[in-house]
Structure 1
Amino acid sequence: MTDFWLAAGLLLLLAASFVLLPALRGVGVRREHDRTAMNVALYEERIAALQEQQQAGILTDEQFAQGEAEAARELLADAEQEQSASASSGRWWLIGSAFAMPALALLLYWQWGAYDALSLARENRQAPPHSIEEVTARLERSVQAQPESAENWYFLGRSYMALERPADAAKAFNEAMRIAGRETELMAQLAQAQYFAGGKVFSPEVRSLTDEVLQNDPQEVTTLGLLGIAAFEEGRFADAVSFWERLVNALPPQDPTAAAIQGGIARAKERLAEASVEQGVQQADQPVAQATEPATAQADAPLSVTVQVSLDQALAAKVAADDSVFIFAKANNGMPMPLAVKRLTVADLPATVSLSDADAMMPQLKLSGFAEIIVQARISRSGKATEGQWQGAVAPFAPQTDAAVAVTIDQAM
């Protein structure tokens, strides 16, 4: 801050010069001139009185000369005394003003100036922060120096969120809203902070904020991301996919966060597929209501695939007879959701099962609707279709084939 104080000192010196120089040049001279003129006038009056007394015969020529000399001496003495007093008082007044002016300026700057903000700006320029902790510490000092800066409160809240301090972030965003009003971005950030500060509970306050934000801006990215997170945490995976896909569409091209959001969409779709698998397994476990159907119902038989499932002998000692075995048929297009599923146990192996359109987990997703499918078999000790220890699969094939496909469980997961 040396250059700042040097500049301030030069400015104060310049300002003082506008006062001191004219004063030094003119004030003392004018005062001395005025006093001298008054003394001369008094001297002339005294001489005139002495002349009148001389003419009246009251004073002799010698007495007149003595009175005249005495008046001249008094005139000189008064002039010297006034000059000394004027110079002394003027000099001290000017010196006092020269010191009082900078002191008053410093006092006023200390009271209403922005020294702390200037110091922080200089520090940030000369020594940039190297961690989020340093950034947060400087922002905390900034809001102390400028408590009415909504921008500083906003960035402090963002820093608190990065440090996983959502409760502090919510306080900072509230301060920013107090100053700047109910700005859409501030409300979105506040809703996100309150959601995480409340233990990922979508409270009525958070709901009110997100509703207001989307009413103002249906494509507000922070709110769409938050709604996707809340839906995912609550198991509403279809809603999570919907919110996050809207978020991806709202992001600018080449946004670096798009890849992470796409990963979240993929996970939500996987969870949605797993939930569908569990539902399909439950349906597969239910007994068939009618073992035989009328010949008229069999006239239009659905497409089916015969699968022969066996266990590699090397794994025989590693599995239990009551371990669950799941047989899946999936489309060979990357879609994670199974088309059909059947459930057995290790004790049933080897076994032959049939996967058909009638086993479709969703009416619009049938085996016959895809050119190629993949068949997998999985052993799960927990009995959950989404978990497993060993598996086997066959290469993609056309489901219209009449030949049976063989799947051997021989790989660890």
Structure 2
Amino acid sequence: MAAPSASLLPRLGGIAERRRPGLRWGAALALAAAAAAFLVQGSGTPEVPASDASALALEVERALQGASGPLAAGDRYAQLELQLQRHPDDVRALVLKARLDMEAQRFDLAAGGYGKALGLPNSKAVRDPDVWAEYAEAVGMQQGGTLAGKPMQLVDKALALDPRHAKSLDLAGSAAWEARDFAAATDHWKRLLERLPPGSSRHGELAAAIRAAEQRARLALPAGRPR
């Protein structure tokens, strides 16, 4: 059963919700990319409870909202670069700049920014599952569009902080799909499904993806059997 095609990879979670044209997590993740649209509304607000937002995420959101209006993305970026020249260990500025780098598909810079923000001593970013999940996405794109290896390790860190974190559950399901572990993909996406309003279009899209993963799991050969 071929995975439905998807030309867009939704960016999930965080403040800078967008769809990036022409990017996927590889052909094996086409269904995951299509299914993930349930999280993104037209306004760019994740369809998850507001209680998910950590203190750092709320700070970032307020900063972005305060910089909106007359300031274009380039202006915000220039301000952040100036701030980091003066205060290179400003965690909030590092995260904001990394998010803008992700929007511009500068994945190396984004991954570096997230990594620095998380590696600083006493960084409050380490308590924010959003930042870990976004770092995972940046590293995944940096390494050619796969969630295998380090990205999944970062997703695990986010889920250790919040086992119900929406973006991390989606990425974990996508990574499991990529690894052809359809039972695990089903498990992650079912936990995510519980967070979505029944009857919503996002709920229906994810339910369809879960059914496809369950069918793949039933058809999968036992471990050790040649494919």
Give the TM-score, by structure 2 length: 0.52
Q: Specify the alignment match of 1:113 in structure 2.
A: none
Q: Specify the alignment match of 2:70 in structure 1.
A: 127
Give the TM-score, by structure 1 length: 0.31
Q: Deviations over 1:283-310 (max 9, x none)?
A: xxxxxxxxxxxxxxxxxxxxxxxxxxxx
Give the superposition deviation at 1:146: 3.2
Q: How many residues align?
A: 152
Q: Specify the alignment match of 1:183 in structure 2.
A: 127
Does 1:226 find its partner at 2:171? yes
| Distance (Å, rounded) in 1 between the aligned partners of 2:88 and 2:70 | 23
Q: Specify the alignment match of 1:249 in structure 2.
A: 194
RMSD of Structure 2 on Structure 1 (CA): 3.6
Q: Which residue, 72, 97, 100 being the options, matches 1:159?
A: 100
CA contact (8 A) 1:213 1:223 kept: yes
SS in 1 for 2:133: helix
Q: Specify the alignment match of 1:208 in structure 2.
A: 153
| Distance (Å, rounded) in 2 between the aligned partners of 1:142 and 1:236 | 44
| Distance (Å, rounded) in 2 between the aligned partners of 1:275 and 1:241 | 9
Q: Specify the alignment match of 1:266 in structure 2.
A: 208
Does 1:139 find its partner at 2:80? yes
CA contact (8 A) 2:94 2:113 kept: yes
More relative contact order, 1 or 2 (CA 8 Å, 6+ apart): 2
Structure 1 residues 168 and 263: CA distance shift in structure 2, 3 A: farther
Q: Deviations over 1:324-375 (max 9, x none)?
A: xxxxxxxxxxxxxxxxxxxxxxxxxxxxxxxxxxxxxxxxxxxxxxxxxxxx
SS in 1 for 2:105: coil
Q: Which amino acid aligns with 2:184?
A: D
| Distance (Å, rounded) in 1 between the aligned partners of 2:146 and 2:193 | 24
| Distance (Å, rounded) in 1 between the aligned partners of 2:192 and 2:181 | 17
| Larger Rg computed on CA atoms | 1
Structure 1 residues 261 and 165: CA distance shift in structure 2, 3 A: farther
Give the superposition deviation at 1:200: 3.4
CA contact (8 A) 1:237 1:268 kept: no
For 1:30-45, what aligned pairs fall within 5 Å after superposition?
Answer: none
CA contact (8 A) 1:237 1:272 kept: yes
Structure 1 residues 160 and 246: CA distance shift in structure 2, 3 A: farther
Q: Taking every aligned residue pair, what percent have the same amino acid on both sides?
A: 24
Q: Which residue, 78, 91, 105 being the options, matches 1:150?
A: 91
| Distance (Å, rounded) in 2 between the aligned partners of 1:124 and 1:184 | 22
**What runs of 5+ residues in structure 2 fail to find an aligned partner?**
1-63, 222-227
CA contact (8 A) 2:190 2:210 kept: no
Structure 1 residues 278 and 220: CA distance shift in structure 2, 3 A: closer
Give the superposition deviation at 1:126: 7.5
Structure 1 residues 203 and 147: CA distance shift in structure 2, 3 A: same
More strand by share: 1
SS in 2 for 1:160: helix
CA contact (8 A) 1:232 1:268 kept: no
Structure 1 residues 127 and 219: CA distance shift in structure 2, 3 A: same
SS in 2 for 1:148: coil
| Distance (Å, rounded) in 1 between the aligned partners of 2:220 and 2:181 | 15
CA contact (8 A) 2:95 2:117 kept: yes
